[in-house]
Amino acid sequence: MKENYEIFESEMNELFENKSYKKMRELIEDTPEADTAEYLQTLETKNALLVVKLMPKDLAADVFSYIEPDYQEQLVGIASDEEIKKLIEELATDDAVDMLEEMPANLVQKVLRNANANTRAEINKFLNYHEDSVGSIMTSEYTSLKSGMTVGEAIEYIRKVSYHKETVYNCYVLGERRKLIGVLELSDILGCRDDEELIENLMETNVIKVETHDDREEAVRLTQKYDLFALPVVDSENRIVGIVTVDDVVDVIEEEATRDIEQMAAIVPTETPYLKTSTFSHVKARIPWLFVLMLAGMLNGVILGKYEVAISALPLLVTFMPMLTGTGGNSGSQTTATVIRAMTLDEISLRDSFRVMWKEIRVALIIGVTFGALNFARIYFFTDDPDRVMMGLVLGLAMIFTILMAKTLGAFLPLLAKRIKLDPAVVASPMITTIVDVVSLTFYFNLAMVLLGHRI
Amino acid sequence: MKENYEIFESEMNELFENKSYKKMRELIEDTPEADTAEYLQTLETKNALLVVKLMPKDLAADVFSYIEPDYQEQLVGIASDEEIKKLIEELATDDAVDMLEEMPANLVQKVLRNANANTRAEINKFLNYHEDSVGSIMTSEYTSLKSGMTVGEAIEYIRKVSYHKETVYNCYVLGERRKLIGVLELSDILGCRDDEELIENLMETNVIKVETHDDREEAVRLTQKYDLFALPVVDSENRIVGIVTVDDVVDVIEEEATRDIEQMAAIVPTETPYLKTSTFSHVKARIPWLFVLMLAGMLNGVILGKYEVAISALPLLVTFMPMLTGTGGNSGSQTTATVIRAMTLDEISLRDSFRVMWKEIRVALIIGVTFGALNFARIYFFTDDPDRVMMGLVLGLAMIFTILMAKTLGAFLPLLAKRIKLDPAVVASPMITTIVDVVSLTFYFNLAMVLLGHRI
């Protein structure tokens, strides 16, 4: 569809130059909101604002919700109170909250001052939810039916309100005091051929739902497990307060995967897109872990310092170091990444800890013994050092030990982190690599002192 | 909802023991399909099959589509031809195809032999799509309208067919020879108050769509950009052949993220869940890269071997190695992970290559100079070696060089891989770490020979 967007962009530019505003408006009305938003961001803000004003206000709000936060901020900065008033009343609550969460306080004030009392109260409520909670991703526009309605009445009602809801495809049936008593799909209602049938006879009473303060990952899990388009959100008294729609769930999934990847790569998680992040912010996200891991590397240096005599006498020992620590680090990373990902995808839980550890130990033994034997054979057959048996044993045994330790720790630490309610990704590969380096080098040099002591 | 499932499981177990089959059937009908599927997988296959037979056949097919592939295989293995016939005719095409893709050939034959000619032809067509193509994730159950229909006729038609479609919420308007000429949402139809209005006056003619052979990532990109629930799939002549629904897009997103993470961690991507993967399969997924990287580590050993004299004379040099190569490896991983993730999320494209490289170079210079200066200062102020200035310069300069090279390569290699149409994740961190090790150690020891030559 890239081509479609490019045609649209050049047509718009031409119309804009010729000041053909009526034609621009017609073209925008035939174009997906996301494309119009992309186009606006190629313009100077004052021109973008001019184009926004051409659109009917509901369309303008839809387009606005697709614009990147920093550009939204610039637009709000130069917009008049009147323009902001129109915008904020038309934006869906979740889109308004997304926008305000990223804005500096003075602009938040400017926006809220122009919202009417209801909207303002609603937005303030949403802004108070923790950013990892279901409340932070829900929307308050949903379709509710009363249990006493018939199929015919429900269809009539939905036809009347459908333009004001984020979705009408999942309908929530409310009992007394807005309590959620059932759910049904619009297709269930339409598919019922009897207009006099009661909604409460069609609805599903076993409702899959979340509470506002639940972790948003719970909403992700349920949406995926049950293949839902929308998930109702209730308060502690089972009164419906909003819904989470699948497009917001998709965003959470992407964010969580990015966070896992960043933590695996020793980066402090950020939320802005790559090119929108300043050089200095990139530095700030990368320097902390890099510094901690450099200090840990110094610790390795201190340990090696204790073996300076051995190194001077047998520099051959040093030549095997990169291979040994490298293989250890990679073995540990493999296990940690696998275990963390399996936890994110809910494939394993803490109950499975022993099965996971046992599996990793078996995998490590198979790989360790294979690689240990290969290294022994390589030294035995391809070097002519008089101590080649002992040298081969030192390297081979160190290899087995290193892989076994790397994979055991690589599984144990993320499980432990989860158990004590830390984010498992915090103990991801870089930290494990460092621990593995320290322990394996200590083992390697001590073994060398024992088996090759006569040379040192 | 875990609690709900657990109550369901214990109730079912009790009913099963008492052989209260009628009550079981009632309970299942009130339970989400995914939960029933989870329950079946706790039973022996012959008991599970017995429970399946209690359900109406459309419900049985829905439940079946939530069962894990290996358990599906066992069930099909023991099911009679008659049972398979009922199942295969009720399964949505994409679910049937998902199941058959994982099955051994003899079971595929058993299933296809029981399908009627149309179903068989349909399934065979789908089985031929490449696993990364849109065709492999589409379903052929969609709702199509004719352009001449009125709103009233469309609603009447949808109410008639809605139970047989995966979704009725996106309606596709077909012109002559099934060509896709427009799309509209069910809410657009319901929201139109004039039953005599023509569908073609309401539909959007600027259709966002994909072709069967497009990469499935294109379907992901469009679904996310335009917040779609379903995306139409057309053949090369713009005839509609199916749709991709958002729940399948979510699965693709998870799979792609898992693949990125596995490749970053030097694992050959697998598709089975952690605990369902045998120890031997885990070994098979991990040993290839570990072996290649071990060979690369040996290369490092060969390089170090050339400096044995320097190592014997100045073992202090060795103590800085882990810190230097560790920081280099981590710097490279940070950049590679960031760049690969930004490409997956479409935040950067090849057109941005120079901007990305330039940003990484600036980030690397800031971090490199900081860390270089810190290391110089540490050696200058905290050691009393007579050559501490030269020693500090060797380490400080090597640090700057290593970080700069690691981040430059870390950005360049994934961009290059994308350019020559390799998966960028293939050149992910472990490979870059190894290259960085080799180059940085060579630089470090050569610099030491120059600046500290009198000691060696």
Calculate how close chain B gets to A295, using CA atoms only, in Å. Answer: 8
Q: Do A275 and B355 touch (CB under 8 A)?
A: yes
Class of domain B143-252: alpha beta
pLDDT recorded at residue B164 = 59
**Is A106 touching B (CB cutoff 8 A)?**
no
The three state secondary structure string of chain B is CHHHHHHHHHHHHHHHHCCCHHHHHHHHHCCCHHHHHHHHCCCCHHHHHHHHHHCCHHHHHHHHHCCCHHHHHHHHHHCCHHHHHHHHHHCCHHHHHHHHHCCCHHHHHHHHHHCCHHHHHHHHHHHCCCCCEHHHHCECCCEEEECCCEHHHHHHHHHHHHHHCCCCCEEEEECHHHEEEEEEEHHHHHHCCCCCCEHHHHCECCCCCEECCCEHHHHHHHHHHCCCCEEEEECCCCEEEEEEEHHHHHHHHHHHHHHHHHHHCCCCCCCCCHHHCCHHHHHHHHHHHHHHHHHHHHHHHHHHHCCHHHHHHCCHHHHHHHHHHHHHHHHHHHHHHHHHHHHHCCCCCHHHHHHHHHHHHHHHHHHHHHHHHHHHHHHHHHCCCCCHHHHHHHHHHHHHHHHHHHHHHHHHHHHHHHHCCCCHHHHCHHHHHHHHHHHHHHHHHHHHHHHCHHHC
Q: What residue of A is the nearest CA neighbor of B285?
A: A334
A259 touches chain B (CB under 8 A): no
Of the candidates A176, A237, A231, A181, the residue with the CA atom closest to the CA atom of residue A206: A181
User: What's the pLDDT tens digit per position in B303-361?
Assistant: 888 888 888 888 888 889 889 988 998 899 889 888 988 888 888 888 999 999 999 99
Give the pLDDT of residue B123.
Answer: 81
Q: Of A66, A282, A429, which to mutate for an interface test with B (greatest number of B Cβ within 10 Å)?
A: A282
- Along chain A (456 residues), what's the average pLDDT of each consecutive run of 10 residues? 77 90 90 91 90 88 87 88 85 82 79 81 79 84 88 89 72 90 89 89 91 90 89 90 89 86 81 84 89 86 86 87 89 89 86 93 96 94 87 95 95 90 70 86 93 82
Report how many helices (DSSP H) and strands (DSSP E) chain A contains, helices first. 21, 6
Chain A residue with the nearest C-alpha to that of B371? A291
Q: Which one of B224, B321, B356 has the shortest CB-CB distance to A250?
A: B224
The arrangement of secondary structure in A2-128, i.e. its CATH architecture, is Alpha Horseshoe (1.25)
In CATH terms, the superfamily for domain B274-455 is SLC41 divalent cation transporters, integral membrane domain (1.10.357.20)
Q: CB contact, 8 Å: A121 with chain B?
A: no
Return the structure tokens found at A304: 């090696």
- Cβ of A1 within 8 Å of Cβ of B339? The answer is no
DSSP-assigned letter for residue A174: E
Tell me the residues of chain B between 317 and 336 that have a Cβ less than 8 Å away from chain A: 318-327, 329-331, 333-334, 336
Question: Which positions in chain A touch B294 (Cβ < 8 Å)?
Answer: 323, 326-327, 371
CB contact under 8 A, A316 and B308: yes
Q: How far apart are CA A428 and CA B265, in angstroms?
A: 11
CB contact under 8 A, A322 and B311: no
- List the pLDDT tens digit at each of the 456 positions of chain B: 456 788 899 999 999 999 888 999 999 988 889 999 999 999 998 899 889 888 988 888 889 888 888 888 888 888 888 888 888 888 888 888 888 877 777 788 788 888 887 788 788 777 778 878 888 888 878 888 988 899 999 988 888 876 656 677 889 999 888 899 999 988 888 888 888 999 999 998 889 999 988 998 899 989 988 888 899 999 888 989 889 989 889 888 888 888 888 888 888 887 788 888 888 888 998 898 888 888 888 888 888 888 888 888 888 888 898 899 889 988 998 898 889 888 888 888 889 999 999 999 999 999 999 999 999 999 999 888 888 899 999 999 999 999 999 999 999 999 998 888 877 766 666 778 888 988 999 999 999 999 988 877
Interface membership of A127 toward B (CB under 8 Å): no
Contacts of B334 in chain A (CB under 8 A): 265-267, 286, 290
Indicate yes or no: CB of A319 within 8 angstroms of CB of B301.
yes
- Domain positions in chain B: 2-128, 143-252, 274-455
B243-259 in b/e form (b: 16+ CB < 10 A) is bbbbbbbbebbbebbbb
Residue B187 is nearest to which of A168, A319, A345, comparing CB atoms?
A168
pLDDT 10s digits, A172-225:
999 888 899 999 988 888 888 888 999 999 998 889 999 988 998 899 989 988
Phi, psi angles (nearest 5°) of residue A147: -65, -25
Cβ of B265 and A333 within 8 Å? Answer: yes
Q: Across the A/B interface, how many CB contacts are shorter than 8 Å?
A: 338
Q: Could B283 and A367 be called an inter-chain contact, meaning their C-beta atoms sit closer than 8 Å?
A: yes
| Preferred mutation among B291, B293, B334, B371 to probe A, highest tally of A CBs within 10 A | B334
Please give the pLDDT value at position A254: 87
* B255 at interface of A, judged by CB pairs closer than 8 A: no
- Cβ contact, residue pair A323, B191, below 8 Å: no
pLDDT of residue A274: 86
Residues of B in contact with A398 (CB under 8 A): none
Note whether B356 contacts A274, CB cutoff 8 Å. yes
Query: What residues have CB less than 8 Å from A21, skipping those under 6 apart?
Result: A15, A54
Residues of chain B found within 8 Å of residue A437, distances taken between Cβ atoms: 322, 326
Mutate to test the interface with B, among A341, A369, A429, A435 (most CBs of B within 10 A): A341
**Chain B CB within 8 Å of residue A289 CB:** yes
Q: Does B444 touch chain A (CB under 8 A)?
A: no
| CA A122 to each of CA A113, A138, A452: distance values in angstroms, whole numbers, following the listed order | 13, 12, 74
- B283: exposed, middle or buried (Cβ count in 10 Å: 0-12, 13-18, 19+): middle
Distance of residue B8 Cα from the nearest chain A Cα, in angstroms: 11
**Chain B contacts of A267, Cβ < 8 Å?**
334, 337-338
Cβ of A323 and B226 within 8 Å? no
Which chain B positions have a beta carbon within 8 Å of A9's beta carbon?
none
